[in-house]
Structures are given as C-alpha cells and as structure tokens.
Amino acid sequence: MRATVVLTVVMVLTSAGPAFAQQIGAVDGRDVTLFRAVDFREVAARTQAPPATPREGWAARHPVLLGTLIGAGAGLIIEHNTCGVSSCNGLVAATFTGAGTWGGLIASAVHKKHQGQPVSRTTKIGLVLGAIGAGVGAFLYCYGAGGCGGVS
C-alpha cells in the first residue's frame, strides 16, 4: 500500500511541469522562498543512469593473446601432422606462435589507430622486432636448412 502511494506521488511529480516558488518574506533585501522553482521532469532525467556503452568482446580487448593462442594451436597441429611426435622438437610450433603473436600485435596497433588512440612505444618496438625476427627466421630456415633452391 505504501509503495503504491509513493509511486503515485513520484509519477505525479515527474509528469508535472515546473513547481513554483512560494515567497515567504524578505531577509536583508533578498526574497526568501519556501520552494525553489524546479522542473521535476528535468530532475528525473538527470537522475537516470547514463546509457551503457557497448563493451568490446574478448578478442578485441586481447588481440595479442588471441594471436598467440591461434598461432600456437596451428603450429602444434601442423607440427604433429608433418613432423610426427618428436622430430621437429617444437620448432614449427614456436615459429607459428611467434607469427601469431606478431599478427595480434599488428591487429592491436591497427585497432588503436582506428579508435584514435596513440600506439605505445613498446608496441612499435614489438612490431619492429617481430619484422626482424620474421626476416631472420625465414633466412635461417631457407639457407640454414639447404632449401630455397640456393646454396646448401
């Protein structure tokens, strides 16, 4: 019963226009009022919670970790299918893990730039080191293993 009365009063007050002030006298030449002029609709609008901002998914919040997991999984699958259980010694899995991490780092930098955020110095260093590692790794794979149709 009490909740119904309170709800009714709140509904009436929020649907009403401005409440007018009643003057009760003057002190030091200034008017003293019993109530201030208040627009209850405006008060109700200010007390409502702001609309929730959409939250990004896990993949958008952790692109480097996602790239690492995808690269490691792909590397383990390829290594198991091509090298057997013990002949590659984790080299293929490690290579794919590094490539996945670097891809996630690139995705992170692109996402930050797209949102207008600055790309951190550590991210830039990681991008450069990943590019150097990819180039050196490709060179060592190609010429160190006697492949690529070149010098053995």
**pLDDT, tens digit (0-9, with 9 covering 90-100), for 6-59:** 545 555 554 444 444 455 565 666 666 655 566 667 766 666 666 666 777 888
pLDDT digits (tens, 9 = 90+) for 113-122: 988 999 989 9
Please provide residue 118's backbone torsions phi and psi, each rounded to the nearest 5 degrees. Answer: -75, 145
Residue 68 sits in the same domain as residue 23: no
Residue 150 included in any domain: no
Residue 33 sits in the same domain as residue 84: no
Contacting residues for 48 by C-beta, under 8 A, at least 6 apart? none
Q: Is the pLDDT of residue 85 over 70?
A: no
Residue 102 included in any domain: yes
Domain residues for 8? 2-47
What share of the chain in percent tops pLDDT 70? Answer: 56
Residue 18 included in any domain: yes
> How many domains are there within the chain?
2
Residue 53 included in any domain: no
Residue 95 sits in the same domain as residue 128: yes
Predicted local confidence at residue 69, as pLDDT: 93
Residue 151 included in any domain: no
Residue 43 sits in the same domain as residue 64: no
In terms of residues, how long is the chain?
Answer: 152
Residue 37 sits in the same domain as residue 79: no
Residue 65 sits in the same domain as residue 6: no
Q: Considering only residues 1 and 144, tell me which one the structure prediction assigns the higher pLDDT.
A: 144
Residue 69 sits in the same domain as residue 135: yes
Which pLDDT band holds residue 95 (cuts at 50, 70, 90)? Answer: confident
Mean pLDDT of 84-110: 83
Residue 9 sits in the same domain as residue 64: no
Q: Which two tokens mark 12?
A: 């009436």
Predicted local confidence at residue 33, as pLDDT: 60
Predicted local confidence at residue 103, as pLDDT: 92
Residue 73 sits in the same domain as residue 96: yes
Residue 43 included in any domain: yes
Do the bridges between strand 23-27 and strand 18-19 make them parallel or antiparallel, or are there none, so unpaired? unpaired
Please provide residue 62's backbone torsions phi and psi, each rounded to the nearest 5 degrees. Answer: -135, 60
Mean pLDDT of 72-95: 79
What share of the chain in percent tops pLDDT 90? Answer: 19
pTM higher than 0.95 for the full model?
A: no
